[in-house]
Amino acid sequence: MIGPKCKKCRAVGEKLFMKGERCLSPKCGAVRRPYRPGVHGPSKKRRNVTEFGKQLLEKQKLKWSYGLREQQFKKYFKEALAAKGVTINRLVQILERRLDNVVFRLGFVPSRSVGRALVRHGHFLVNGRKVTVPSLAVKPGDIIAIREGSKNKGDFKDIGMKITHHDSPAWLSINKEKLEAKISTLPEMQDVNIPFNINLIVEFYSR
């Protein structure tokens, strides 16, 4: 069955990797049905889009990739716009510092959506305290860890072996034996692989 996440990938014409390892397998909906969703999808060609359409598309891709609602994303952009520094860098820092994204970047979970669910269920600690808010913004010096009582549960089965071959971004310092990590510094654009044109998103909200 092709779920709503796969339909979003098909709608924008590229993988947003919202379903973890499945997105890398032949079961990926975008691979099985490489056309737009809907009854006319197979026969309907993708139209040339306007500049506004390109801006909207990039905004949707980034928003869906991080699993955010429209109001959340708009709030983050306004926060980035009001802060000192380059708006693009500030927006990336706000998005990357979300706890659900951090546990995904560390390889503790296969996708941000899974990270969001497991954070809500209390499987992660921040500075030794259980946190159940996926949107929590971590900061340099914070220690992120899998709760001791969760390490042997199904969601984290073989996690030690899985993260052995996982490469975390430079702003995260991970101890793979203890299954914990430290936020070394703020994330920068060059440290983060975001395959979207954020400049177009800035233009979209600056209209």
67 belongs to a structural domain: yes
pLDDT number for residue 37 = 60
Q: Rounded distance, CA 89 to CA 159, Å?
A: 31
For CA atoms 65, 70, 75, 81, give the dihedral sign. positive
pLDDT number for residue 139 = 97
pLDDT number for residue 1 = 38
Specify whether 58 is located in the same domain as 113: no
Question: Residue ranges of the alpha helices (H) in 97-197?
Answer: 99-105, 112-120, 159-162
Q: How high is the mean pLDDT in each 10-residue block of the chain (207 residues)?
A: 54 59 54 55 65 91 93 95 91 96 95 95 97 98 95 86 89 93 92 85 87
Specify whether 25 is located in the same domain as 56: yes
Specify whether 55 is located in the same domain as 102: no
pLDDT number for residue 38 = 56
Specify whether 144 is located in the same domain as 172: yes
Rounded to a whole number of angstroms, the distance between the first and last alpha carbons of the chain is: 39
Specify whether 8 is located in the same domain as 77: yes
pLDDT number for residue 118 = 97
Total Cβ atoms within 10 A of residue 205: 16
Residue 110 makes CB contacts below 8 A (sequence gap 6+) with 19, 20, 21, 104
Specify whether 116 is located in the same domain as 75: no
pTM of this prediction? 0.80
92 belongs to a structural domain: no
Tokens of 4: 């709503």
Q: What is the CATH number of the domain that holds 109?
A: 3.10.290.10
Residue-number span of the structural domain to which 46 is assigned:
4-84+195-205
pLDDT number for residue 107 = 94
SS3 label, residue 203 = helix
Specify whether 122 is located in the same domain as 173: yes
Q: What is the mean pLDDT of the chain?
A: 84
190 belongs to a structural domain: no
SS3 label, residue 46 = coil
Specify whether 200 is located in the same domain as 180: no
Count of structural domains, the chain: 2
Specify whether 118 is located in the same domain as 46: no
In 3D space, the residue among 107, 145, 115, 110 whose CA is nearest the CA of residue 127 turns out to be 145
Specify whether 78 is located in the same domain as 108: no
pLDDT number for residue 187 = 93
In 3D space, the residue among 144, 137, 147 whose CA is nearest the CA of residue 168 turns out to be 144
Q: Rounded distance, CA 144 to CA 130, Å?
A: 10
Specify whether 164 is located in the same domain as 112: yes
Question: Residue ranges of the alpha helices (H) in the chain?
Answer: 4-12, 29-32, 51-65, 70-82, 87-96, 99-105, 112-120, 159-162, 198-205
* Structure confidence by residue, pLDDT tens digits, 173-196: 999 989 999 999 999 888 787 888
In 3D space, the residue among 203, 170, 206, 166 whose CA is nearest the CA of residue 189 turns out to be 170
